[in-house]
Amino acid sequence: MRYESTPRPEIESHYHIRMLIEGQEKKADDRTYHLNKEKTKAERQDLINDAKPFVLTEFYCQKCREDFKAQSIKEVEIDWSNPNQFIAFYRTKCFEGHWCIRLITDKHRDGYWVRSKAVHRDRGVHYKDTIQPHETGFNLLYKKI
């Protein structure tokens, strides 16, 4: 006699097999995390190596609330608690003697792009170039066809 309708549990639902699968997934995630970490570290090092030691750069002084251009020097600081973590920046003094920096490695954290009046002025001048059809004012600038 044949029992074709005998219920058979799926092998993946067994607790021991499930534990092995989750372990393999965790190892794969760890592997990709460490590969990405090494990649970002290499990219940071390339940014630092490509940056010139002395350069004429635009700065914004928070104390004077003024934009200025000045000759700056590249500096690299290493975290004393983690020698693998380092940051590079350009540093100079404004005309009043205040220290100002521009970040080389963590550009998304650079305050110049948020605070600078020159950047705000340029964004206002070129806003028409980046306006999208779903945004307010598009029909005013570009007549409906």
19-44: per-residue pLDDT in tens?
A: 988 999 999 999 999 999 889 889 98
108-119: per-residue pLDDT in tens?
A: 899 999 999 999
Quote the tokens at residue 55.
Answer: 């350069």
Predicted confidence at residue 69, as pLDDT, reads 95
42-53: per-residue pLDDT in tens?
A: 998 999 999 999
d(CA 51, CA 76): 11
pTM, whole model, 2 decimals? 0.66
* Domain definitions of the chain by residue range: 14-47, 52-132
* Beta strands 54-61 and 86-93, pairing class: unpaired
51-75: per-residue pLDDT in tens?
A: 999 999 999 999 999 999 999 999 9
Helix H or strand E encompassing 93: strand 86-93
